[in-house]
Amino acid sequence: MSACQYSYRSLRALGVCNGPPEYSDVSAFQRPAGTTRNFAWSSDGSTFAYAESNSVTVTRADSHEVLCTVDVPAVVTVALSPKGSFFSTWERMVKTADGSQHKNLRVWSTNTGQEVASFTQKSYDGWDLQYTEDEMRAVRCVANEVHIYDTSDFTKGIADKLRADGVAAVSLSRGRNPSVAVFVPESKGAPASLRTHHLETLSSVNAQKTFYKADKVQIKWNQSGTMLLFLTQTDVDKTGKSYYGETGLYLMSASGAFDCRVTLDREGTIHDFTWSPNDKEFVVTYGYMPAKTTIFDHRVNVVHDFGISPRNFVAFNPQGRLLCLAGFGNLAGEIDIYDRKTLKKLTTFDAPNTSTCQWSPDGRYLLCATLSPRLRVDNGIKLFHHTGALVHVQDMEELYQAGWRPADASLFPFRQSLSPAPAPSAQYASSTPTKPPVKAMGAYRPPGARGQPASNLFKREDEGGEPHVFQASPARNEPIEFGPRKPRTIPGMAPKDATQSNQENGKSKKKKEPKTPRPNRRNGTEDPDSSFLAPDTGPNSPAPSTGPATPARASTPSTPMRPPAVQALNDSNNNIVSLSPEDKKRRALTKKLSSIQQLKDRRARGEKLELTQIQKISAEPDVVKELKELAALDLNGKA
């Protein structure tokens, strides 16, 4: 199924009235014969282009008149300028026969179908030129420079350029006085930076922000082009708390009058963020799942907190009246719709396996599509009203792209009260009864726990469970788990204490009494280190003394036992004497000789030794020499 087929089917009526969309095909549009994997609209919705395997066709959106068709071998994607005067194509890099660089980025004139410019663009990220709203200037990021082109005549080459060593991303703002945001990642210990320049005066810096932990950036301007939000991200989280790197969100004005970091009160990744169409607010969803969603004003003050829920997608409708919070990707696909005016939830519905979600230009419908190759099954589109009603379903064998035709949001103002849901489409209404109902399976529960409320151990935080707290290993500076440590319990069974368990088993456990220190047989005193001396129980051990009994001593507090790590010896009077440095060295060398002898025995038995073990054996003469030197020092000291 071609990608552009649905895009023309879906929204023909929404561009001219506030009624429900028409779901029939547009008869004036000539469906392409081959498979199309990519299409593009101009920002004003006047021009439409789609790419086939080896060609690109551009048509007018109203009359569907074909403006031009150009042959482009192995085209991958296509893009249109804001007013549709130019379109760009990108091909994969190939080696040319003459060894010259392949000009895989090509710019074409929509009216004539002639190529007006070509460039070498290796990376697919940010491949297209960025145009001003009046299409008078085009911006392109190259190695260490930002180039500005005059679109009236591309043959003149670069009209202006900005030198920026290490530049990785460029973003052009909207509005009549556009600005350029230039991002340079951190390198060789220097912090990353983001600067803004006015397009007409590139040499001067209007605003600048430096920061660390930024390998790449995602920039979003407000509609007037006066402020921007940018999300910084690293590929690796050095703290070990996340597989997806570290993220940070910053707000900055294009003029430099205000900039700050958006402080978030929940630890974890920033999943999504977006501006409100009123340019005064933005919404962020962030933190470990279940994530938290908050609305901030343009001075980073909290306006409203939506609480925690499994959501990773946020989108205002074009009028700014409704807000969509959804959980896609590895989440279940739940969608919440809020009224921004009252901050109340209107509805919650499910759209599982959604690959793309977009508001309609009139702000009343949500398009949820399942695309290939993200998912190879259940491809198609679903149209939901903002009240949660499913009004249309279109199943397709393979769907690569889906989207609404752009339109001016001011043509569809919202009334004081929200409109009710329209009747479902005839196609969806007729096919719904034939589909078997889907039975909700839920999570598996063992037979002994069925029919009982679930334990809080298995609930999410937003469902009443305990909050997840990051814990680090005390022995190593590494993370070990997320969540509080809990004893092992059987789901559905009340825990038993030790007393109750012993009484049921008819057993009583007694505490072990501490052992009394053994008396010293030589002088009748207690040896505090006697616990470390093995008792002499061999066949040649002396018999117990039969002499007069030693008088009993007054009871004294027992000396606490020292750990085996304490290095000490007993002298002739059984007094504790600490080892001297020479004794410690002699003992270490003796131990090393013993291990060397063991290795020599293993080699004599035919065992294969490692290189480090062979080197250890070769060091035996040095060990013997050191022992002899220590013995000589002892003799000299006694003399």
Alpha carbon dihedral 221, 223, 226, 227, in 10-degree steps, equals -40
Q: Tell me, yes or no, whether 402 and 269 share the same domain.
A: yes
Tokens 């980025």 -> residue: 105
**% the chain with pLDDT above 90:** 30
| pLDDT at residue 15, rounded to an integer | 36
**% the chain with pLDDT above 70:** 74
pLDDT at position 442 over 70: no
Q: Tell me, yes or no, whether 122 and 145 share the same domain.
A: no
Binned at pLDDT 50, 70 and 90, residue 313 comes out as very high
Q: Tell me, yes or no, whether 282 and 335 share the same domain.
A: yes
Please give the helix or strand (H or E) that residue 592 lies within, else none.
Answer: helix 581-604
Q: Tell me, yes or no, whether 303 and 316 share the same domain.
A: yes
Average pLDDT, the chain: 78
pLDDT-wise least confident of 70-84, 292-306, 458-472, 546-560? 546-560
What is the mean pLDDT of the segment spanning 571-581?
Answer: 59
The enclosing domain of 120 has a CATH number of: 2.120.10.30
From CA 220, how far away is CA 272, in angstroms rounded?
A: 11
Q: Tell me, yes or no, whether 250 and 268 share the same domain.
A: no
| pLDDT at residue 542, rounded to an integer | 45
Domain termination site, one of 353, 382, 408: 408
pTM of the model: 0.67
Contact indicator for 253, 224 with CB cutoff of 8 Å:
no
| pLDDT at residue 555, rounded to an integer | 43
Q: Tell me, yes or no, whether 140 and 250 share the same domain.
A: yes
Helix (H, G, I), strand (E, B) or coil at 180: strand
Q: For residue 197, how many other CB atoms are within 10 A of its CB?
A: 22
Binned at pLDDT 50, 70 and 90, residue 267 comes out as confident
pLDDT-wise least confident of 190-194, 315-319, 523-527, 621-625? 523-527
| pLDDT at residue 489, rounded to an integer | 60
pLDDT at position 302 over 80: yes
Q: Tell me, yes or no, whether 48 and 154 share the same domain.
A: no
State the burial class of residue 632 (Cβ atoms within 10 Å of its Cβ: 0-12, 13-18, 19+): exposed
For residues 308 and 34, the model is more confident at 308
What is the mean pLDDT of the segment spanning 312-323?
Answer: 93
Binned at pLDDT 50, 70 and 90, residue 282 comes out as very high
Question: Is there a domain that residue 13 lies in?
Answer: no
How far is C-alpha 518 from the geometric centre of its chain's CA atoms? 63
Q: For residue 9, how many other CB atoms are within 10 A of its CB?
A: 19
E strands, 179-246, where? 179-184, 192-198, 207-211, 216-221, 227-233
pLDDT at position 533 over 70: no
- Residues whose CB is less than 8 angstroms from the CB of residue 582 and which lie 6 or more positions away in sequence, other chains included: 630, 633, 634
| pLDDT at residue 220, rounded to an integer | 94
pLDDT at position 279 over 80: yes
From CA 270, how far away is CA 232, in angstroms rounded?
A: 10
Tokens 């809020």 -> residue: 338
Tokens 């399942």 -> residue: 370
Q: Tell me, yes or no, whether 246 and 311 share the same domain.
A: no
Binned at pLDDT 50, 70 and 90, residue 551 comes out as very low
Contact indicator for 65, 47 with CB cutoff of 8 Å:
no
The enclosing domain of 213 has a CATH number of: 2.130.10.10
| pLDDT at residue 577, rounded to an integer | 54
CA dist 502 to 376, 487, 497, 499, 511, Å?
58, 19, 9, 5, 14
Question: Is there a domain that residue 468 lies in?
Answer: no
Its sign, for the CA torsion 445, 447, 448, 450, is: positive
Looking at the structure of the chain, the number of domains it has is: 4
For residues 272 and 429, the model is more confident at 272
Question: Is there a domain that residue 447 lies in?
Answer: no
What is the mean pLDDT of the segment spanning 477-493?
Answer: 53
From CA 151, how far away is CA 149, in angstroms rounded?
A: 6
Question: Is there a domain that residue 22 lies in?
Answer: no
Which residue segment(s) compose the domain that 99 sits in? Answer: 32-128
Residue 377 is classified by DSSP as S
pLDDT at position 612 over 90: no
pLDDT at position 501 over 60: no
| pLDDT at residue 270, rounded to an integer | 92
What is the mean pLDDT of the segment spanning 407-413?
Answer: 87
Alpha carbon dihedral 615, 616, 618, 620, in 10-degree steps, equals 170
From CA 49, how far away is CA 31, in angstroms rounded?
A: 12
| pLDDT at residue 464, rounded to an integer | 67
- Residues whose CB is less than 8 angstroms from the CB of residue 482 and which lie 6 or more positions away in sequence, other chains included: 288, 468, 469, 470, 471
pLDDT tens digits, 191-234: 899 999 998 888 889 899 998 888 889 999 999 889 999 999 88
pLDDT at position 6 over 80: no
Omega within 30 of 0 (cis) for the link into 433: no
Domain termination site, one of 380, 408, 436: 408
Residue 531 amino acid letter: S
For residues 606 and 220, the model is more confident at 220
Q: Tell me, yes or no, whether 220 and 87 share the same domain.
A: no
Question: Is there a domain that residue 433 lies in?
Answer: no
pLDDT at position 64 over 60: yes
Q: Tell me, yes or no, whether 85 and 207 share the same domain.
A: no
pLDDT at position 12 over 80: no
Residue 169, token pair as written in the block: 């991303």
Q: Tell me, yes or no, whether 402 and 270 share the same domain.
A: yes
| pLDDT at residue 578, rounded to an integer | 65
| pLDDT at residue 42, rounded to an integer | 92
State the burial class of residue 132 (Cβ atoms within 10 Å of its Cβ: 0-12, 13-18, 19+): buried
Q: Tell me, yes or no, whether 147 and 75 share the same domain.
A: no
Binned at pLDDT 50, 70 and 90, residue 22 comes out as confident
pLDDT at position 44 over 60: yes
What is the mean pLDDT of the segment spanning 540-552?
Answer: 44
| pLDDT at residue 427, rounded to an integer | 64
Question: Is there a domain that residue 431 lies in?
Answer: no
Question: Is there a domain that residue 513 lies in?
Answer: no
Binned at pLDDT 50, 70 and 90, residue 188 comes out as confident
What is the mean pLDDT of the segment spanning 391-398?
Answer: 88
Binned at pLDDT 50, 70 and 90, residue 535 comes out as very low
Contact indicator for 483, 461 with CB cutoff of 8 Å:
no
Binned at pLDDT 50, 70 and 90, residue 109 comes out as very high
Question: Is there a domain that residue 538 lies in?
Answer: no
Binned at pLDDT 50, 70 and 90, residue 514 comes out as low
For residues 585 and 81, the model is more confident at 81
| pLDDT at residue 304, rounded to an integer | 93
| pLDDT at residue 32, rounded to an integer | 83
Domain termination site, one of 100, 128, 156: 128
What is the mean pLDDT of the segment spanning 561-590?
Answer: 62
pLDDT-wise least confident of 108-122, 127-141, 454-468, 593-607? 454-468
